[in-house]
Amino acid sequence: MLCKRFKVTGLVQGVWFRQSTKNTAQSLSLTGWVSNMADGSVELVACGDEVQLDKLTDWLQDGPPAAKVNSVSSENIPLEPYSEFRVK
């Protein structure tokens, strides 16, 4: 089990990015959260199996159809106990 914090930049707010991320994370059995940030980016924490986190990372490179992703950064963080994946 791993947890990663991601920051996604580009046109990622107002394009259903958070809800699409939640749906994708849930389909991958990941837990955590996703939130819009004041600087226009989206931040998320996802916890689960490394293979599933890699699949989420790949999905974040494009996001939902209306998004225009410029960059995705990530870092491993200490394991956090989440029971679900939610939109903040």
Catalytically active residues, by annotation: 18, 36
What tokens were used for 60? 């974040």
Q: Which amino acid is at 68?
A: K
Return the number of other C-beta atoms located less than 10 Å from residue 22's C-beta.
Answer: 19
Diameter over CA atoms, the chain? 32
